[in-house]
Chain A
Amino acid sequence: MTNAEIIATDPGWITLVKGLLIFAVCVLATLMSVWGERRLVARMQQRMGPNRVGPFGLIQALADGVKLALKEDLIPKAADRIVFVVAPIISVTTCFMAFAVIPLSGPVNLFGYETVMQMTDIPVGVLYVFAIASIGVYGIVLAGWSSGSTYPLLGGLRSSAQVISYEIAMGLSLVAVFIYAGSMSTAEIVSAQSQWWFCVTLFPSFVIFAISMVGETNRAPFDFAEAEGELVGGFHTEYSSLKFALFFLAEYVNIVAVSALATTLFFGGYRALPGLGFTESWLGGWFTVFWFLAKVVFFFFIFVWLRGTLPRLRYDQFMKFGWKVLIPFSLIWILIVSTLRVLSQQGAPRSVLIGFSFGIVLLVLAGSSLFESSKKRRAQEDELGEVAVPSFPVPAIPGKINKNRAEQLNG
């Protein structure tokens, strides 16, 4: 039985229970991840992080939430009141909705019903996640626009540009997954990974997805929408109290959601690590939830690690990277993957497939070495060639002093 068939037999109240569970898990995951992130980043900077409220500071995030809720809720005079209130709600609801199609476990027994921990399984599940994520951007854009202030506006605009450019790369990276899984349903994609996880077989796709998911969630090093040094608080500068808390919640649920998506699409979802397949039947199948969560935590760790290590990119570099590197690269990768797929489906012998892959590798190597040598030649030309002396005084450019000019300067 496929997941869709199992879910179809669920009575309504089981669906309701699942929805509640997902909501509770998301909120709890947010609280824990805020704490976990602060502790981890602190350790990376040789600090301790929050350790006051509760054991190991575990309920620090909860205390902060209570504090936020009790604070004065300001709406600026210049703000568009309705949109200003709606924006955080859009942000937070959409990121919860993405979880509806993520399978959290294999077949389990929930209150006497044989089911799976997945609210619904639709044939275009992954597309649904993307659609929802795109609506989530409206929350940020509208928040920026409705604040009636400059920095939030810039933050909102940046965010929209960012998400649009990185969603293309992200979507393209998934095409290879769809081709290999033969479906867009999340449950189908998980079961297609019973042999090899897609992060191994479709490694380039995974790399592109991993990069663009950081861009998609507005996280460091791509956190332009709320770049403190540049835009104060970005889109949520004017927000306070519960509305700010909602944005905060949305950000972290988003991280968990994207990690869950990455787990589902590339890390075999709720399936155990290779060689530990026997654990999948432990606790009546509930142990699969542990595997799922472990993988999500792994991705979350990567998010925190990135934040702890990398400085923020410059905005134009980020855009250049998205449009000129990630998108062309994923297009070429899709071309290769689909060619291979068609070849193997039409019964081409193994030698042809291997030869084709080998040829691609050779082409890539040749291309990159050509690129390197041309770069070197250009650098040499820069060093030796005549550089036109402008008719106005210019500051010296480090490392680019031209020899003739040097002689000229020294008389």
Chain B
Amino acid sequence: MDNPLTPRSNDLGLTAAAKANTPIESQEAKTFAKQLQGFWVTFKTIFKKPNTVQYPEEREPTAERFHGRHQLNRYDDGLEKCIGCELCAWACPADAILVEGETNTDDERYSPGERYGKVYQINYLRCVFCGLCIEACPTRALTMTNEYELADESRAKLIFEKEDLLAPLKSGMLQPPHPMVPGTTHIDYYRGDITGGSNG
């Protein structure tokens, strides 16, 4: 080779292509008539049905596992699943979650076991809906719903408090604080053995 500076590797397989006599499609190869095809495409499309979803009136369901607003779940008797461990807050890459735990007492019990989340805030101005908090949660207390309509007119309104995030009480559930089902411990709760409501 007379020119040592000429790199060998920069011909992107074109040499092989030239050897195999493969025609390389060039811009000039397109005839005028072919260029006019675009006009037909746009004209034809005028009469097609638009893809638009008329959003506020017409809503299409999200994907099944869409990452929407968070929810704090409950056991079937109404006690909260959150144990105030702050793992979600630590997992959060956007620092959107604030948790302050508190100790359960026998008079005032919000969750089975030792601790519960007293303050639970998610700042939706920061949240990126990555779902790392859900992965971090040891009790499956935190999950995400499919709800995506989270716009609001002030910053304060977009910091969701615990009562905004808690799952609604279903029938048979009792508003905490209340004791655990008689004769059970937190272990039974964690195993998922509590199915009915508590009466006390």
Docked Cα-Cα span, A390 to B14, in Å, equals 18
Contacts of A411 in B (CB 8 A): 1
In the complex, are the beta carbons of A393 and B46 less than 8 A apart? no
* Bitwise interface map of A from 374 to 411 toward B, beta carbon under 8 Å scored 1, else 0: 00000000000000010111011011010100101111
In the complex, are the beta carbons of A309 and B11 less than 8 A apart? no
Contacts of A406 in B (CB 8 A): 15, 18-19
Of A42, A44, A396, which contacts B14 at CB under 8 A?
A: A396
With A406-B15, A406-B18, A406-B19 given, is the CB distance from A393 to B7 under 8 Å?
A: yes
Q: How far is the CB of A50 from chain B (nearest CB, A)?
A: 11
What residue in chain A is nearest B48 (Cβ atoms)? A46
A81 at the interface (CB under 8 A from B): no
A67 at the interface (CB under 8 A from B): no
Contacts of A48 in B (CB 8 A): 50, 52, 54
A276 at the interface (CB under 8 A from B): no
Contacts of B42 in A (CB 8 A): 44, 305, 308-309
With A396-B10, A398-B24 given, is the CB distance from A47 to B52 under 8 Å?
A: yes
Contacts of A403 in B (CB 8 A): 18
A-B contact count (CB 8 A): 66
In the complex, are the beta carbons of B26 and A399 less than 8 A apart? yes
Of B2, B18, B38, which contacts A401 at CB under 8 A?
A: B18
Residue count of chain B within 8 Å CB distance of chain A: 30
A170 at the interface (CB under 8 A from B): no
With A46-B45, A396-B11 given, is the CB distance from A309 to B50 under 8 Å?
A: no
B51 at the interface (CB under 8 A from A): yes
Q: How far is the CB of B30 from chain A (nearest CB, A)?
A: 14
What residue in chain A is nearest B1 (Cβ atoms)? A408
In the complex, are the beta carbons of A43 and B15 less than 8 A apart? no
B155 at the interface (CB under 8 A from A): no
In the complex, are the beta carbons of B15 and A46 less than 8 A apart? no
Docked Cα-Cα span, A411 to B49, in Å, equals 58
B32 at the interface (CB under 8 A from A): no
Within 8 A of B (CB), among A12-71: 40, 42-48
In the complex, are the beta carbons of B8 and A392 less than 8 A apart? no
In the complex, are the beta carbons of A392 and B5 less than 8 A apart? yes
B195 at the interface (CB under 8 A from A): no
B3 at the interface (CB under 8 A from A): yes
A310 at the interface (CB under 8 A from B): yes
* Bitwise interface map of B from 32 to 53 toward A, beta carbon under 8 Å scored 1, else 0: 0000001101110110111110
In the complex, are the beta carbons of B45 and A409 less than 8 A apart? no
Docked Cα-Cα span, A408 to B19, in Å, equals 12
What residue in chain B is nearest A308 (Cβ atoms)? B42
Of A44, A305, A396, which contacts B12 at CB under 8 A?
A: A396
Of A44, A389, A399, which contacts B45 at CB under 8 A?
A: A44
Of A46, A305, A389, A395, which contacts B43 at CB under 8 A?
A: A305
Of A43, A392, A401, which contacts B50 at CB under 8 A?
A: A43
What residue in chain A is nearest B50 (Cβ atoms)? A48
What residue in chain A is nearest B46 (Cβ atoms)? A43
Contacts of B38 in A (CB 8 A): 309-310
Docked Cα-Cα span, A389 to B5, in Å, equals 12
Contacts of B11 in A (CB 8 A): 396, 401, 409
Docked Cα-Cα span, A45 to B50, in Å, equals 8
Q: How far is the CB of B10 from chain A (nearest CB, A)?
A: 6
B6 at the interface (CB under 8 A from A): yes
Contacts of B48 in A (CB 8 A): 46
Docked Cα-Cα span, A47 to B14, in Å, equals 41
Contacts of B17 in A (CB 8 A): 401
Docked Cα-Cα span, A186 to B49, in Å, equals 42
Contacts of A395 in B (CB 8 A): 10
Docked Cα-Cα span, A408 to B18, in Å, equals 13
With A305-B39, A310-B38 given, is the CB distance from A401 to B15 under 8 Å?
A: yes
Of A43, A310, A393, A410, which contacts B5 at CB under 8 A?
A: A393
Docked Cα-Cα span, A58 to B26, in Å, equals 45
Contacts of B14 in A (CB 8 A): 396, 398, 401
In the complex, are the beta carbons of B10 and A391 less than 8 A apart? no
Contacts of A409 in B (CB 8 A): 8, 11, 15
In the complex, are the beta carbons of A393 and B6 less than 8 A apart? yes
Docked Cα-Cα span, A197 to B164, in Å, equals 72
Docked Cα-Cα span, A15 to B52, in Å, equals 48
Contacts of B1 in A (CB 8 A): 408, 411
With A46-B50, A47-B51, A406-B18 given, is the CB distance from A399 to B3 under 8 Å?
A: no
Most chain A CB within 10 A, of B1, B7, B14, B48, is at B14
Docked Cα-Cα span, A411 to B39, in Å, equals 48
In the complex, are the beta carbons of A45 and B45 less than 8 A apart? yes
Docked Cα-Cα span, A88 to B45, in Å, equals 36
Q: B residues bordering A, Cβ < 8 Å? A: 1-3, 5-8, 10-12, 14-15, 17-19, 24, 26, 38-39, 41-43, 45-46, 48-52, 54
Q: A residues bordering B, Cβ < 8 Å? A: 40, 42-48, 305, 308-310, 389, 391-393, 395-396, 398-399, 401, 403, 406, 408-411
A-B contact pairs, 5 of them (CB 8 A): A46-B51, A47-B51, A310-B38, A406-B15, A406-B19
| A-B pairs with lowest CB-CB distance, top 7 | A396-B11, A399-B24, A44-B42, A48-B52, A401-B18, A43-B46, A309-B42
If A46-B51, A391-B5, A393-B10 are given as contacts, then 4 extra A-B residue pairs at C-beta distance below 8 Å, sorted by A number, are A46-B45, A46-B50, A47-B52, A309-B38
